[in-house]
Structures are given as structure tokens and as C-alpha cells.
Amino acid sequence: MKPACEIVVSKVLPSIRAAIVKVLIEEHKMQQTEVARIMGISQGSISLYTTCRRGCDKEIHKLFPEIEKYAKEVAVKIASGKLKKTSTILCTVCRKIRKSKEFCDIHKQFAQLV
């Protein structure tokens, strides 16, 4: 069985990052380089998120609609300067998602694929 962390790293975390990036760039008009610096990832990664080549798993977003809510909350904090690093916020969001029934279901689904 795949550990839950593998699913988080491959599916959930990219979806959370993509949602945050989208809000920061589209709603807060931040530049990719600035978003990359704050999020601690490369500008190339930001580009992949904005062009939906990474983190745009529609099933994940459908299963966890709260990702959009969290993304907006985090983006407001980043844009206002109240949050300089996203790592602790990402961990908080991840923990909340991992405790949900939907995550247990998707974990079981991926475990059967192994």
C-alpha cells in the first residue's frame, strides 16, 4: 500500500500550490518571479502551475473543494505581506485534507493500483 504521504506529494500538494499560484497571479496581480520567491519554488514551476501542466487534477479539486477556499485565504495573507513563507500553511492545509473521508477513499483507491 502506498503511504498517504506519496498521494499527498503527487496529487494534493501540487493542486494546493496551483490554486494558490492562480489566485496570486490572477487576483493579486503578482509576478511569477515574486510568487516563486515567496513559495520557495522555481519560476519554471510557477509557469507549469499557471499553464495547467502541473497541479490541475480536476478530480482532486472536485474531491476537495476546500482547496480553493484555502488558496484564497493564503493568497490574501501573502499579498498583504502577513505571510512570508507558505510552508507552514501548506502543512496545515495538508493535515486538514488528510483527515477527511474523501482522502481515505482516494488513498484506498491508489492502494489498489499497486
Q: Which amino acid is at 88?
A: T
In a domain, residue 93? The reply is: yes
pTM, rounded to two decimals = 0.85
Q: Using a pLDDT cut of 70, give the percent of the chain over it.
A: 92
Specify the pLDDT at position 6.
82
Measured CA distances, 10 to 16, 33, 41, 73, 100 (Å): 11, 24, 16, 23, 18
User: What is the tens place of the pLDDT at every residue in 25-70?
Assistant: 999 999 999 999 988 899 999 999 999 999 999 888 898 898 999 8
- Report whether pLDDT(85) > 80: no
| Domain total in the chain | 1
In a domain, residue 86? The reply is: yes
Give CA–CA dist 98/93, Å, rounded. Answer: 9
In a domain, residue 96? The reply is: yes
Neighbours of 83 (CB within 10 A): 16
In a domain, residue 113? The reply is: no
Range of the domain at 19: 4-106
In a domain, residue 111? The reply is: no
In a domain, residue 112? The reply is: no
Confidence of residue 15 (pLDDT cuts 50, 70, 90): very high
In a domain, residue 28? The reply is: yes
Confidence of residue 83 (pLDDT cuts 50, 70, 90): confident
In a domain, residue 90? The reply is: yes
Give the list of residues 6+ apart from residue 58 with CB closer than 8 angstroms, or none: none
Give CA–CA dist 82/51, Å, rounded. Answer: 27
